Amino acid sequence: MSAVTGVYQSLDKLAEFLGFDTVQALQSWMGEKLCKPYWDEYTRGCAEVELFRGKKARLADCRSVLRHLAEGEAGGNRKFSSDFPDTPSWKFIDWQARLLYKIRSVNQADRHGIFFGKNMNEIEMATRAWQVILRLNLDASREQRPNKRVRATGEFDHWRTEDNEAIPTPVNPNGGAACVVWTDIPTEMEDNGKKTMITLTGLVRYTYEQFLEEIRNGLQLKECGYEIDELSVAGDPIASDTFEEFLKIAGGSKRKVVVDLTTKNCPVGLDIPTIENEEDTSRRLLFDIIVAEKVTSGFDLKNRFCKWSLIQEVTRSFPSRIKSEWELLTGGIDSRGDSIRWLHTSKDSDEVPGEAGDGLILCEPTKEDLQRYREQEKWIDNKDLQRQGHPEACRALGIPNPDIPRLPGMLVSAKFEFWQPLAIKAIKEFEEGYLRGGILADDVGIGKTFEAIGLEQYHWNLRKAALESNLEVAAPRPTLIVVPPNLIHQWASAIKAISSDLVVKIYYGGKRQTSADGIEYLTGILSKDSEIFSETEEAARTTIITSLRTLTSRHGPSVLKKVIRNEIMDKDESTRYASVMEAVKDRMKGMKSAPESWCHNLKGLFKRVIVDEAHEIRKKTIFSAVTLRWLEAPSVLLLTATPIWNDLSDILGLLYQLEPHEDPWSNESLEKLGVFDTDAWNATAGNLKSLMERFDPWDVKSDKPVSCLRYTSESVKYHIIKADIPLVTKGKRMREVLKACMLKRSYGSLVHGQVVGKSLPAVQNISVNLAFTPEEQKIYEGIFGDCMAQAFKGRRGKNGKGADMGNDAIGALSASKFRRLCLVTTWTEFDHIASSYTAKKLKDRRKNGVLHAHTILKDVKNAKRQRPYHIENSPEGLADTQMDPLPSKDDTSEILRSHCHSSPKLRYLLQLVAELVILRKEKLLIFVTMPAQVLWLESVLQLLDLDAHSYRAGLNVQDRQILADTFHRSPDKCYILITSFWVCCTGLNLQGHCRNLVFWDSAPISVEQQALGRLKRVGATKTIRLFRLYVENTFSTVQNMKYINKAIPGLMAQLNMEVFGNNNDDGPVCLGDWVVHEGQLVRANDPSVAGLHLKILDGEQLLTCILMVLQGKAI
């Protein structure tokens, strides 16, 4: 028996296995409403069967009960789930199936249940429920026995049998003997004369393993398809830890000790992994269950087996070219579809070179894999952007007890994690520096919200203490918190749950209302005269929560333009509209702040502005960024896990918000800082471009006042991003900039001797390299060549000379060409319908629901008729549009095959769905790029009657919230969620019942990090499987490398130099010497590569390899 199989024998182990803190909590649960009523029902039912059949009840094995349960529930029969089951003809196994079902289902649905909110599949829940049943059965058997210990008798009665005593040498010749009786042998085997018992002598010479092996061989269990389930003496189980006590009893007895044997099924010749193993759930049992559910011989997609078999039939009809160390083992089905055979080799066409060989079942990561992942987490853990000294931080903040870090004014139920006081202290120091505040960039899920609220509580405590001491304080002003709309109530609830002092008001929507927890909504548009800005002390502890859109639409440039326009038109109604708008444009041009006369100008009315998901304002010229700048708050705190969204230029908008109110590059400012005293200056600055060319603050020493100009957005733009310096040097400069304004802890960060992300799951990065068939590749290359030719023409016309047709041409693609290549990499047939499947047109077509997959094929055929290919220099066979016959709307198999044709990604995804969603009943989250991909995937998956839905821009806020909550909280609804990187990559919690993530396309590194953050959050309990799909020799692989190259400077700014540095701060490059050996990054001085003469990677090569490794790619 495995260690987990016998876990029920120890209450301590069982409590830990089920997630209870104590044995008392376990016993309390077993005796209450979520367990005991169903055990009582079972015992009553078994008593009736015993009375009727004259046979004592014995537990079957878990596998048999699960299969029996699946058969009884198949086809909606509800044999065991009914509230009033028809029980007169039930057998023991029926009552066991009912008991297993009730414990599993009730504890999954009830919020006090052991499975509620847990990301477990039905086998994992059944495993735990079965251990409970075994324990209940063990307790019941002990209660029915008058004597719980078999004691030695006769001449050996004086011998003690405690564990610390040696086994006596028996005087009888047997040396300890046992009669092992197979108690649950099937009747037909017993009738056929199968041996039911075996006698073993000389037991004192046996080890536990030898004892088990003698029983297996003596009763020929393996040949009969059975394995030992339990051995017991008078109800007391014999296990490895109780075997010595059993030997003492056997050795001290004149008679043979009777040992009861119960068995479980084990098919001949198959070494099936135990279903109780947490990380290696028996796939065979899952197959058995879906087969048991198939109660009719007909084809019905409501049946899981039929869905699974259809996917295998369709996908395996295409040649497969998959290169990945993590591949799916697909099972085969015979022509009748009523049995399963295991396939350990590929059955794809032998004509396709480079196809995968032997497949592997999706494996859970080993301990070595997890250790490697945790080490990789430390790679991007920049120690320069972190702080140490938890006790010191607590003292500085006024936290009395560092072991229970809680600020005065916080609720008793709230306390900081060990890394959070350091963040509050760091932000306070940023606010006291040259910049107005800082960027809190901790990884997703670490607790930035809690830290920001803690900052507010700290400042209120300071103010309150000053008032009590009659010290002078600043005028009372509220704090403004700007968050995405779907996070407004989350922030409000968090403030109420943490602080007893802070007052929360919401500035969003137009109706007067009060939330369920008493939070007030502010009505109307705020102005200087609003009551909220009255100089009362309540204003100083008030936080106003709003959205970026609300703030911009009420207090930003767009509404100010309308005010100015109306003023001009009121003065002279005869003025032409074009002249009016030209005048408006002139007045707005170069406006640094809103006019003082404008009543909705909120300049200087807030003491602090906190912006959540601050990467949304990474462009300094957009209206929302301008609106925030106009507030001119003394302090600004920006929260984002991805401050560098696409490339280094994204930091400019964030630095712009932190700069002093006065222009740091004005002549007055430069004169104060002493710029004109340097050797480069004989006159005033001139224009900004000339200034940047003549003066670089990186050329002066760090202790000079003028060096603070390094941290301005203009200096970063000209002296880092646009500077003609190596990428690694850009990264090194950026590290210094970020050090002055950013705090960033990763999951692998060590704070106060503890790992920050210890409670978050690891990620299993699985890169899957697919390929078109030769015919499909020709079609793709024709489309790709057409796009590149047009891009080449555009560049040549613009530049007046030739242009490179390589990656530079791809980088110059227009949005329409980018979209075209993205879609045809998904499915080449998209090229015919791309113009009619835009976001705007799909919104209209979705009014009646999701398009049927057959309708999409029909649209493709109509488009082919109307608009045949017109591609310059098309490859042979492409010039004539291929017209395949349109399948019947009822022919699901052919419809699915038509969609799989020309889409290697879909073929792989369907195998993934068959394995994870259909077989294992796990959820799947899919990220794509374009709305057309969302609709197409949703249509194809719903064709298979799968519970698949899309989270998209066309849904209203309420529908989106319902869909996200269903996916996150409901274990048996919305199994597949399809969304776009640009719609759903920030803010949402989706980890409740999902551990599987698919990146259909490549995206910028920071976007992928945010998307991963939907599942990698506190509360997730299982390793996340992240599948990245690529199609070789296509736009998708080129685009991925482009994103990697763009991320190199940003990576350099975040790199852990304790891992990759050369400890040489004087050199121009701060990276150490590394080589690639057997697909791994290894230091050049590592003994394992000594004498191999491997090429040392330069800085950019090393950074590229790091990013590829973090994506699960081979290097």
Rounded Cα–Cα distance for residues 978 and 218 (Å):
56
Give residue 941's identity as a one-letter amino acid code. Answer: L
Q: How confident is the model at residue 707, as a pLDDT? A: 87
Which residues are 768's β-sheet partners? 1029
Measured CA to CA in angstroms, residue 881 lies from 784, 803, 832, 837 at distances of: 16, 31, 10, 20
pLDDT digits (tens, 9 = 90+) for 996-1030: 999 999 888 878 888 888 888 766 778 889 999 99
Residue with tokens 């945790």: 374
Q: Taking the CA of residue 369 as centre, how many other CA atoms within 13 Å lie in the half-sphere pointing to its CB? A: 16
Q: Do 294 and 918 form a contact (C-beta atoms < 8 A)?
A: no
Q: How confident is the model at residue 77, as a pLDDT? A: 84
Look at residues 759, 766, 758, 809 and name the one whose alpha carbon lies nearest to residue 786.
Answer: 809
Q: How confident is the model at residue 997, as a pLDDT? A: 93
Q: How confident is the model at residue 360, as a pLDDT? A: 35
% residues pLDDT > 90 (the chain): 26
Q: Which of the residue ranges 184-193, 899-908, 954-963 would you say has the lowest mean pLDDT? A: 184-193
Q: How confident is the model at residue 335, as a pLDDT? A: 28
Residue with tokens 């039939």: 313
Which pair of tokens denotes residue 392?
């010191």
Judged against a pLDDT cut of 90, whether residue 35 lies above it is answered with yes
Which pair of tokens denotes residue 963?
């869909």
Look at residues 809, 794, 786 and name the one whose alpha carbon lies nearest to residue 874.
Answer: 786
Where would I find the beta strands (DSSP E) of 234-331? Answer: 236-237, 257-265
DSSP string, 927-983: EESSHHHHHHHHHHHHHTT--EEEE-TTS-HHHHHHHHHHHHH-TTS--EEEEEHHH
pLDDT digits (tens, 9 = 90+) for 879-910: 455 667 889 999 999 999 999 999 999 999 99
Rounded Cα–Cα distance for residues 286 and 268 (Å):
18
Burial of 178 (0-12, 13-18, 19+ CB in 10 A): buried
Which pair of tokens denotes residue 890?
């009822």
pLDDT digits (tens, 9 = 90+) for 285-325: 888 888 888 766 678 888 888 899 899 889 887 865 555 44
Q: Taking the CA of residue 81 as centre, how many other CA atoms within 13 Å lie in the half-sphere pointing to its CB? A: 14
Residue 469 pLDDT grade (very low, low, confident, very high; cuts 50, 70, 90): very high
Residue 52 pLDDT grade (very low, low, confident, very high; cuts 50, 70, 90): confident
SS (H, E, C) 574-592: CCCHHHHHHHHHHHHCCCC
The three-state secondary structure class of 280 is: coil
Phi, psi of 389, deg, nearest 5? 100, 60
Q: How confident is the model at residue 1072, as a pLDDT? A: 73
Judged against a pLDDT cut of 90, whether residue 511 lies above it is answered with no
Q: Do 902 and 829 form a contact (C-beta atoms < 8 A)?
A: yes
Cβ atoms < 10 Å from Cβ of 292: 18
State the chain's mean pLDDT as an integer: 79
Judged against a pLDDT cut of 70, whether residue 170 lies above it is answered with no
pLDDT digits (tens, 9 = 90+) for 363-419: 666 666 666 656 666 666 778 888 899 999 999 999 999 988 999 998 877 889 888
Residue with tokens 């492409």: 878
User: What is the dotted CATH code of the domain comprising 764-1041?
Assistant: 3.40.50.300
pLDDT digits (tens, 9 = 90+) for 763-781: 888 888 899 998 888 888 8
Judged against a pLDDT cut of 50, whether residue 167 lies above it is answered with no
Question: Degrees (nearest 5) of the Cα angle 682, 686, 687?
Answer: 150
Residue 348 pLDDT grade (very low, low, confident, very high; cuts 50, 70, 90): very low
Judged against a pLDDT cut of 60, whether residue 361 lies above it is answered with no
Q: Taking the CA of residue 295 as centre, how many other CA atoms within 13 Å lie in the half-sphere pointing to its CB? A: 14
Judged against a pLDDT cut of 70, whether residue 791 lies above it is answered with no
Q: CB neighbours of 366 closer than 8 A, spacing ≥ 6?
A: none
Q: How confident is the model at residue 296, as a pLDDT? A: 66
Residue 158 pLDDT grade (very low, low, confident, very high; cuts 50, 70, 90): very low
User: What is the pLDDT averaged over residues 920-942?
Assistant: 94
pTM over 0.85: no
Judged against a pLDDT cut of 70, whether residue 608 lies above it is answered with yes
Rounded Cα–Cα distance for residues 375 and 372 (Å):
5
The three-state secondary structure class of 269 is: coil
Handedness of CA 793, 799, 802, 807 (dihedral sign): negative
Q: How confident is the model at residue 321, as a pLDDT? A: 53
pLDDT digits (tens, 9 = 90+) for 566-591: 888 888 777 788 888 888 888 888 78
Q: Comparing 796 with 747, which gets the higher pLDDT? A: 747
Cβ atoms < 10 Å from Cβ of 777: 18
Q: How confident is the model at residue 169, as a pLDDT? A: 42
User: What is the pLDDT averaged over residues 1076-1086?
Assistant: 80
User: What is the pLDDT averaged over residues 745-760?
Assistant: 79
Q: What are the sequence ranges of the domains in the chain?
A: 7-144, 154-265, 644-649+659-743, 764-1041
Judged against a pLDDT cut of 90, whether residue 913 lies above it is answered with yes
Q: Comparing 676 with 145, which gets the higher pLDDT? A: 676
Q: How far is CA 6 from the centre of its chain?
A: 33
Rounded Cα–Cα distance for residues 750 and 734 (Å):
23
Cβ atoms < 10 Å from Cβ of 1023: 17
Q: How confident is the model at residue 174, as a pLDDT? A: 53
pLDDT digits (tens, 9 = 90+) for 827-840: 999 999 988 998 88
Q: How confident is the model at residue 1076, as a pLDDT? A: 85
Give residue 113's identity as a one-letter amino acid code. Answer: G
The three-state secondary structure class of 865 is: helix
Measured CA to CA in angstroms, residue 892 lies from 302, 312, 530, 933, 977 at distances of: 13, 14, 63, 20, 22
The C-alpha R_g of the chain, in whole angstroms, comes to 35
pLDDT digits (tens, 9 = 90+) for 426-458: 999 999 988 999 999 988 878 889 999 999 999
Look at residues 464, 444, 446, 467 and name the one whose alpha carbon lies nearest to residue 456.
Answer: 464
Rounded Cα–Cα distance for residues 583 and 568 (Å):
8
Look at residues 593, 600, 608 and name the one whose alpha carbon lies nearest to residue 481.
Answer: 608
SS (H, E, C) 17-77: HHCCCCHHHHHHHHCCCCCHHHHHHHHHHHHHHHHHHCCCCCCCCHHHHHHHHHHHHHHHC
